[in-house]
Amino acid sequence: MPSTDAEPYLRVEDLSVSFPTRDGVVRAVTGMTYQVALGKTLGIVGESGSGKSVSSLAVMGLHDMKRTQMEGSIRIEDTEVVGLPEDRMRRLRGNAAAMIFQDPLTALHPFYTIGAQIVEAYRVHNPDVSKREAKAKAVDMLERVGIPQPNRRVDDFPHQFSGGMRQRAMIAMSLVNNPKLLFADEPTTALDVTVQAQILDLLQELQRDFGSAIVIITHDLGVIAEMADEVLVMYAGRCVEYGATREVLTHPEMPYTWGLLNSVPELTGDPEEALLPIPGSPPSLLNPPNGCAFHPRCGYSHLVPADLCTRELPLLEPSPRGESHLKRCHLLDPENDMRTHEPVVDDDVLEQPDLVVADRVQAPDQQTLSTAGDSNG
């Protein structure tokens, strides 16, 4: 296990989340284990549909529980969340654990003022606070996250804010109850590049003040490098690499992580040089490949003897770099192999058409099964 000095605040153990659908069971997350201590940041990185958002929504209990199967254990401080009655779960949500969403424009209600939305978040867990006090608190929070003229802007609607300010307001709203655990689901993806760094700085500054544990979910390795103490790489619903951020980013021990790093442009690199994308596309979670889920796209599986990659799922086990750096790969010394061998890519993978979106199924509560809305006379 990656070592943490302090007692972890969030412990996820062997978490599996699946959604029964008409076409079969979608195993969005399988056997995921991680932990985060107060004041620390864990980055979860992966492509769309890798299960990174699903795992955090599961911790928050934000799935439609009737359509979701959850196994394993999630402990927030001393509370087991899996199987917790909705009424008790509700009291944790937004209070002990809060969440920041990707697109602050759609995540804020367009019909209520920023202030009203923060007041609501505050008063639901502090019902004795008067509306006036709650509004003063909202102004404080807005000021805290760097909104200019907060006592005037508190009465603005979300559409009157710029993208970066909306995300600041979202952060103010999620921190209003001083949560010990904060999930940030792609908090900068929908923002201008110039604003992204400001938001990340703000999150780090607030983390220092509030001492929260943060789980940041992203596909952006730059965000991970900037924010995370530890990083967990997900592929096809499973953790494939887990360790200290610097360690994983400089000594990747899994060909998928290697591929992710190679697809990031370098500022000091040769501008003419083409990026190395990972060939193919992520597998369907309805019907994942046998063996290692990454093998159809892996350029190094020919180094593993006896077709092991196509037959057997590798375990998440310590890498040659040490006990605190876990990898899920049959290669005995992946980093060394990747540095010394050229990748060999199967032609099939390159010709394989992109999967249709439906194959990378998301949680059912994000699907619209709308049969209504049709008109009649």
Partner 1 sequence: MFGYIVRRAISGVLVLIAIAFGVFILYFYGPSDPAQAYCPKNTCTPAQLELISRNLGLDKPVLVQYGDYMKGIVVGREIKTGKLTEPCGAPCLGISFKQDLEVRPYLMGRFPATLSVAVGGAVVFLLVGVSVGVTSARRRGSALDRGLVGFTMFTTAIPYYLVALLGYLILINQTGLFPGSGYFSPFTEGPIAWIKGMLLAWVILGFFYSTAYARYSRGSMIEALNEDYVRTAKAKGLKDRTVATRHAFRAAIVPIVTIFGIDFAGLLAGTIFTEYIFDIPGIGVAALQSVTNKDLPLISATVLIAAAFVVTANLLVDLAYAALDPRVRL
The footprint of partner 1 (CB under 8 A) covers 60, 62, 86, 90-95, 98-99, 101, 103, 106-111, 120-121, 124-125, 157, 159, 170, 173-174, 365-366, 368-374, 376
Nearest residue (CB) to partner 1, 165 versus 233? 165
Nearest residue (CB) to partner 1, 354 versus 374? 374
How many angstroms separate the CA atoms of 72 and 12, rounded? 8
Smallest separation (angstroms) from partner 1 to the CB of 374 = 7
What sections of the chain are H helices per DSSP? 52-60, 86-92, 104-107, 114-125, 131-144, 150-153, 163-175, 193-210, 221-227, 245-250, 255-262, 308-311, 334-340, 347-351
Nearest residue (CB) to partner 1, 64 versus 209? 64
> For 183, phi and psi rounded to 5 degrees?
-100, 130
The total of other beta-carbon atoms located within 10 Å of residue 238's CB is 24
Could you tell me the two tokens for 92?
């944790």
The enclosing H or E element of 4 equals: none
Q: Could you tell me if 79 and 92 are in contact, meaning their C-beta atoms sit under 8 angstroms apart?
A: yes
Nearest residue (CB) to partner 1, 5 versus 374? 374
Smallest separation (angstroms) from partner 1 to the CB of 107 = 5
Smallest separation (angstroms) from partner 1 to the CB of 93 = 4
Edge-to-edge strand list for the sheet holding 8-21: 24-37, 8-21, 69-76, 79-80
Nearest residue (CB) to partner 1, 162 versus 250? 162
The secondary structure of residue 58, as a DSSP letter, is H
Nearest residue (CB) to partner 1, 102 versus 281? 102
Smallest separation (angstroms) from partner 1 to the CB of 46 = 20
How many angstroms separate the CA atoms of 126 and 133, rounded? 11
Task: List Cβ neighbours of 317 (8 Å cut-off, separation of 6 or more).
Answer: 326, 327, 328
What sections of 18-108 are H helices per DSSP? 52-60, 86-92, 104-107
Smallest separation (angstroms) from partner 1 to the CB of 28 = 16
Nearest residue (CB) to partner 1, 74 versus 292? 74
Smallest separation (angstroms) from partner 1 to the CB of 100 = 9
Smallest separation (angstroms) from partner 1 to the CB of 77 = 16
Nearest residue (CB) to partner 1, 270 versus 374? 374
How many angstroms separate the CA atoms of 199 and 223, rounded? 11
Nearest residue (CB) to partner 1, 182 versus 316? 182
CA distances from 236 to 34, 228, 233, 255, 293 (A): 17, 22, 10, 14, 7
How many angstroms separate the CA atoms of 243 and 19, rounded? 29
Smallest separation (angstroms) from partner 1 to the CB of 86 = 8
Task: List Cβ neighbours of 169 (8 Å cut-off, separation of 6 or more).
Answer: 104, 108, 114, 117, 118, 142, 145, 147, 158, 161
Q: Which of 334, 281, 367 is nearest to 19 (CA)?
A: 367
Smallest separation (angstroms) from partner 1 to the CB of 51 = 18
Nearest residue (CB) to partner 1, 263 versus 366? 366
Smallest separation (angstroms) from partner 1 to the CB of 319 = 36
Integer-rounded Cα Rg, in Å, for the chain is 22
